[in-house]
A = this chain, B = another copy of it.
Amino acid sequence: MPRQSAATPRLSIDDWVSAALELLAEEGPGGVKIDRLCVRLGVTKGSFYWHFTDLASFLTAVADRWGDERDARQATFAELEAIEPHERLRRIIAELADAHDWALERAVRDWARTDAAVAKRVEATDRWVFQAVRKIFLELGFDAADADIRAKTLFYAGVGFIYAGPQGQRGGRRQRERLLEILTQR
């Protein structure tokens, strides 16, 4: 057993933040209680207040980590700039639709409604994604007004799907492809 002794784990800030993101995804903002975190991490409340001055500053750290992970994802999107617009759009949507933790996504958006700092981060990522999609429609030859509305439609449909869940017959990849055809045909 060459690793650390399991007897005295000694928590780091990241351990607390990770536990909070798990709780957030599982139960939403209302589930993130200091007590719950303590049970999950096997310590008492005093431990929490040694690492953080209060709940607010802790939640800031949680929001920061969520934002940092978003920035990292967007950096990978930026690498797609060079490829052909149709294909780029398909990849961005596939990335957003498939490799995504919707429970966490919803929880963070809920949380944003009562926390201005979180709201700003969510708005920033929303704006980034929207502009990236809008740019694709411009590259496809639509004028500014048309690119705008097509990008909006896709963007809002995505957010709406995250919230309202599946409606009608089971969709999946084929339906996404058909929607892209409709919106990109000139």
Contacts and interface: CB of A to CB of B under 8 A. Distances in A.
Interface of A: 27-28, 30, 106, 109-110, 113-114, 126-127, 130, 134, 144-146, 148-153, 155-161, 163-164, 167-169, 171, 175, 178-179, 182-183
Contact of A156 (B109, B114, B148, B158): B158
A127 B179 CA distance: 20
A163 B130 contact: no
Interface of A is mostly: helix
A126 to B, nearest CB: 6
B167 A179 contact: no
A159 B163 CA distance: 8
B169 A148 contact: yes
A114 B158 contact: no
Contacts of A153: 153, 157, 179, 182
A113 B102 CA distance: 13
Given A28-B114, A126-B167, A130-B167, 9 more contacts: A126-B164, A130-B168, A150-B182, A152-B167, A152-B171, A155-B167, A156-B167, A159-B160, A159-B163
A151 B163 contact: no
A19 to B, nearest CB: 20
A70 to B, nearest CB: 15
Contacts of A110: 110, 113
